[in-house]
């Protein structure tokens, strides 16, 4: 008995899968936590960072800003500082910037000159 090769089959090319839809960015929320004397930024329910302050002579003095490495590069430090200064302004208060990041941020945002009365050079 002779062995017969099966007929050649030509397969149609498979089209590439459509790209997955882009996932929306997790929700970003900034909260004032006065008992810890800081403003925190949360992303997707997780604390991503904060800016800390102390009170002195009626001023809110910002001393440290920190964003977790997993959240860096998203503008979260700017978001938390902006919110903190907006709330400080809304409360009719003044601020001082000892934190190097806050000081640089304020120098680049003169619209907050009415709030920040002193900043680190």
Distance CA 83, CA 88 (A): 8
* In the chain, % of residues over pLDDT 90: 73
The CATH architecture of the domain made up of 28-119 is 3-Layer(aba) Sandwich (3.40)
Distance CA 95, CA 109 (A): 14
Q: What confidence tier does 36 reach under pLDDT thresholds 50, 70, 90?
A: very high
Q: What confidence tier does 118 reach under pLDDT thresholds 50, 70, 90?
A: confident
What are the tens digits of pLDDT across the range 74-98? 999 999 999 999 999 999 999 999 9
pTM given for the model: 0.78
* Sequence ranges of the domains in the chain: 28-119
Tokens of 86: 């907006």
């Amino acid at each position: 008995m002779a062995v017969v090769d099966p007929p050649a089959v030509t397969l149609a090319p498979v089209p590439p899968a459509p790209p997955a839809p882009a996932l929306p960015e997790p929700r970003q929320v900034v909260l004032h936590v006065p008992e810890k004397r800081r403003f925190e930024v949360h992303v997707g329910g997780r604390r991503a960072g904060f800016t800390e302050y102390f009170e002195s002579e009626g001023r809110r003095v910002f001393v440290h800003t920190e964003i977790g490495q997993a959240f860096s590069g998203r503008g979260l430090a700017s978001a938390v500082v902006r919110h903190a200064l907006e709330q400080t302004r809304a409360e009719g208060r003044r601020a001082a910037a000892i934190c190097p990041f806050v000081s640089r941020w304020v120098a680049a945002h003169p619209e907050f000159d009415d709030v920040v009365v002193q900043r680190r050079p």
